[in-house]
Amino acid sequence: MARRSLLWIVSLAALIFAYMLVARAISRPDIVPPAEDIAGAFAALVGRGQQSPASDMPGMDMPAHHHHSSDQVDTLLQEGVTLQASLAVTTARVLFGLIVGLPLGMLMGLLMGWSRRADDYLHPIYVLVRSVPPLSLITYIMLWLGHSEAHRLIPIVYAVAVTAVIPTYHGVRDVAGKYVVAARSLGARGRLLLAKVVLPAAAPAMLGGLRYSVAIAWMTAVGAEMLMAENGMGNLLVGGGMWSSRLQMRSDPAVIIVGILVLAGAGWAMDLAARAWSARLTRWAR
């Protein structure tokens, strides 16, 4: 175990070192920013860095400063965007998607796994619904509900729900099936069967699917924010501004790398939480 974590650290250090060497060798800070620039962008975005003077000539190429400053950082700071606020907004959206989407998907999976008849009717519809990428719905939702929070949240809910169906379905149909037969023959039925047999037996599979749902929720949230949002990590990644002008996305790689690192960290933390939580809930299985 100790050897493993040592290798981990060595590998991570090697990765960072290799990156710094590559950045120096290429020496194009506008494409591969040196590590200082990334640290500088991070400091500026959490509000610790020295406020870089607002560029007096927007659109003109600024010569490289020794401290990190770029159009994207300036734009973001002028819009009052900070890293922690963006992360909080995105996390809130992800949590909303999970809280609303998971029960929906699990209910559908439960229904399809429980009743052969429901499965026969619902499965073809589910396959059609699942095939439509959630984010491609974003403009259609906007036409219906206007430019609001709804068209950012609905794709996340949709993506989470669709992902949660299958693990629940297999859990109920394949895993719980044999326990159900046994419990039925002992006379269990209805609520008792559902609460004491089906749900506990299907829980490991359902919670295994939870990790997929978390990952999908993060991806969809960031994508939705990149497409149409004035806040959140996706907005930070594409450098703020109105979403309609994002066709001319010209981003500062230092900001993007900071954003990706933070998102990876947040996704990892939430995955750890999901794993710990599901381990707790399925303690009986061990």
- Contact between 48 and 39 under an 8 Å Cβ cutoff? The reply is no
- Contact between 68 and 95 under an 8 Å Cβ cutoff? The reply is no
Q: How far apart are CA 268 and CA 261, in angstroms?
A: 10
Q: How far is the CB of 187 from another protein (least distance, A)?
A: 28
The dihedral sign for the CA sequence 46, 48, 54, 59: negative
Q: Collapsing DSSP states into helix, strand and coil, what is residue 147?
A: coil
User: For another protein, which is the closer residue by CB, 117 or 280?
Assistant: 117
Q: How far is the CB of 191 from another protein (least distance, A)?
A: 27
Q: How far is the CB of 163 from another protein (least distance, A)?
A: 10
Q: How far is the CB of 88 from another protein (least distance, A)?
A: 16
Q: How far is the CB of 234 from another protein (least distance, A)?
A: 8
Q: How far apart are CA 49 and CA 1, in angstroms?
A: 38
- Contact between 23 and 34 under an 8 Å Cβ cutoff? The reply is yes
User: For another protein, which is the closer residue by CB, 110 or 221?
Assistant: 221
Residue 6 CA, chain-centre distance (Å), reads: 29
- Binding to another protein (CB under 8 A): which residues in 18-77? 30-31
Q: How far is the CB of 186 from another protein (least distance, A)?
A: 27
Q: How far is the CB of 121 from another protein (least distance, A)?
A: 4
- Binding to another protein (CB under 8 A): which residues in 215-254? 215, 218-219, 221-223, 226-227, 233-234, 237-239, 244, 246-247, 249-251, 253
Element (H, E) at 215: helix 199-228
Q: How far apart are CA 93 and CA 232, in angstroms?
A: 9
Residue 158 CA, chain-centre distance (Å), reads: 13
Residue 267 as a binder of another protein (CB under 8 A): the answer is yes
Rg (CA), the chain: 24
* Contact map string, positions 99 to 128, toward another protein, x by CB under 8 A: ------------------x--xxxxxx-xx
91 to 26, 98, 171, 201, 253: CA distances (angstroms): 35, 10, 28, 31, 23
CA neighbours within 13 Å on the CB side: how many for 86? 32
Residue of 27, 56, 131, 284 interacting with another protein (CB under 8 A): 131
Check residue 75 and report its DSSP letter.
Answer: H
User: For another protein, which is the closer residue by CB, 44 or 238?
Assistant: 238
Interacting residues toward another protein by CB under 8 A: 3-4, 7-8, 10-12, 15, 30-31, 117, 120-125, 127-128, 131-140, 142-144, 146-147, 215, 218-219, 221-223, 226-227, 233-234, 237-239, 244, 246-247, 249-251, 253, 256-257, 259-260, 263-265, 267-268, 271
